[in-house]
C-alpha cells in the first residue's frame, strides 16, 4: 500500500487514488473512492472536477461517511437533489440485495465533464468497507491499511520534458504485474492497440454510411424527377403565362429546399425526443 501513502518506495508515482467498485443505485455504478478524487484528480490534463454553479454543479465534496456525490448524468437521470438519501445496492444486477440500513445523503453534484465520470455516484472509500452485510474481515479494512483490498487505483506518474511519460513507467509496470492480483494498465499503450483491433469496424461503418448516402441521393433524385413529370402541365402553364425558364427552375429549387429544411427540422425534433 505504499502507493497510497504519497509515494513511499515508489517515488515515480506522484499521486495514487484508490477506489472500490461493486455497488450500484438506480442503474448507475456507486464507486467508493478516496476524497482526493473530487479535489485533486485531473479527469483530463489540467481539468479537475467542479461543484460551481456557473459550471453546472451543485453543493460540495463529501466530508463524512454518510455523504455522497453524484455525477451530472446520474443526477439528471435519477432526478437527484441535494439532501436526497439513498441506500446502495450490493451488486450491479437487478434483484441484488440492498443495504437498507445504510442511508447516504447527496451533498454535491459534479459539473458535467463529458466523460464516463458523469455516469457514476461516489461515496467515501471507508464507507464501502463498513456497509451493513459485509463480513467482519471487510469491515476491518476501513482502518487497517496494511490489509485493505481495493478494486483499483488512478495512478499519476512523473513526466519528463515535453510531457512524455517517465521512462521508469516500464519498470513500475513490470514490478506491479509480477503479482497475480495486480495489473498496471497504461492508457497510452492500450488505446492504440484497441483501435488497431477494432479499426476495421470504423472502416465498415464509413463504407455503410457512404452506401446509404448514395442510395439516399438516388432516391431523392428519382423522387424529384417523378414529381416533375407529374407536374408537367403546371409547369407548362407557368411558361404559357410568361414565366421564364429561370423562374420555373427557381420555383422548383425553392420548393425542394423548403421540403428539405422541414424534413431536417422534424428529424432533429424526433431525435431529441
Same domain assignment for residues 77 and 104:
yes
Burial class (CB in 10 A: 0-12, 13-18, 19+), 106: buried
Same domain assignment for residues 253 and 166:
no
The number of CA neighbours under 13 Å toward the Cβ of 212 is 6
Q: Cell numbers of 2, please?
A: 505504499
Same domain assignment for residues 147 and 229:
no
- Of the candidates 185, 202, 226, which is a domain's last residue? 185
- Of the candidates 185, 206, 240, which is a domain's last residue? 185
**Count of structural domains, the chain:** 2
Same domain assignment for residues 75 and 148:
yes
- Of the candidates 128, 159, 185, which is a domain's last residue? 185
Same domain assignment for residues 218 and 241:
yes
Total-model pTM = 0.68
Range of the domain at 54: 2-185
Q: Walk along the chain (273 residues) and give the pLDDT tens digit of each residue.
A: 445 444 445 677 778 898 999 999 999 999 999 999 999 999 988 899 999 999 999 999 999 999 999 999 999 999 999 999 999 999 888 888 999 899 999 999 999 999 999 999 999 999 999 998 888 888 888 877 777 888 888 888 776 666 666 666 677 777 777 777 777 777 766 777 777 777 778 788 899 999 998 998 888 788 777 877 777 787 788 778 888 888 888 887 887 788 778 877 887 888 655
Per the CB < 8 A criterion, the answer to whether 250 and 256 are in contact is no
Question: Of 73, 108, 105, 74, which Cα lies nearest the Cα of 87?
Answer: 105
Q: Cell numbers of 64, please?
A: 463524512
Same domain assignment for residues 61 and 30:
yes
Same domain assignment for residues 121 and 41:
yes
Same domain assignment for residues 93 and 36:
yes
Same domain assignment for residues 79 and 139:
yes
Same domain assignment for residues 240 and 158:
no
Crossing angle (nearest 10°) for helices 232-240 and 245-272: 140
Name residues whose C-beta falls within 8 Å of residue 198's C-beta, 6 or more positions apart in sequence.
none
Rg for the chain, CA atoms, rounded: 29
Amino acid at each position: 500500500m505504499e502507493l497510497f501513502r504519497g509515494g513511499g518506495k515508489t517515488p515515480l508515482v506522484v499521486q495514487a487514488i484508490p477506489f472500490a467498485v461493486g455497488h450500484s443505485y438506480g442503474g448507475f455504478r456507486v464507486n467508493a473512492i478516496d476524497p482526493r478524487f473530487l479535489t485533486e484528480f485531473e479527469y483530463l490534463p489540467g481539468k479537475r472536477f467542479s461543484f460551481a454553479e456557473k459550471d453546472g454543479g451543485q453543493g460540495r465534496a463529501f466530508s463524512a461517511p454518510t455523504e455522497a456525490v453524484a455525477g451530472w448524468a446520474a443526477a439528471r437521470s435519477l432526478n437527484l437533489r441535494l439532501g436526497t438519501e439513498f441506500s446502495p445496492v450490493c451488486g450491479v444486477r437487478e434483484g441484488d440485495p440492498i443495504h437498507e440500513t445504510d442511508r447516504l445523503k447527496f451533498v454535491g453534484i459534479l459539473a458535467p465533464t463529458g466523460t464516463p465520470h458523469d455516469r457514476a455516484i461516489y461515496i467515501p472509500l471507508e464507507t464501502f468497507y463498513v456497509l451493513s452485510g459485509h463480513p467482519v474481515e471487510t469491515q476491518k479494512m476501513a482502518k487497517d491499511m496494511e490489509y485493505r483490498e481495493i478494486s483499483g487505483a488512478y495512478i499519476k506518474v512523473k513526466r519528463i520534458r515535453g510531457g512524455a511519460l517517465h521512462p521508469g513507467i516500464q519498470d513500475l509496470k513490470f514490478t506491479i504485474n509480477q503479482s497475480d492480483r495486480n495489473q498496471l494498465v497504461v492508457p497510452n499503450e492500450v488505446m492504440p492497440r484497441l483501435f488497431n483491433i477494432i479499426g476495421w469496424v470504423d472502416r465498415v461503418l464509413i463504407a455503410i454510411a457512404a452506401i446509404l448516402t448514395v442510395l439516399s441521393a438516388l432516391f431523392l433524385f428519382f423522387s424529384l424527377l417523378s414529381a416533375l413529370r407529374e407536374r408537367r402541365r403546371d409547369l407548362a402553364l407557368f411558361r404559357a403565362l410568361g414565366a421564364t425558364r429561370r423562374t420555373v427552375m427557381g420555383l422548383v429549387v425553392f420548393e425542394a429546399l423548403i421540403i428539405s429544411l422541414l424534413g431536417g427540422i422534424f428529424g432533429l425534433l424526433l431525435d431529441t425526443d
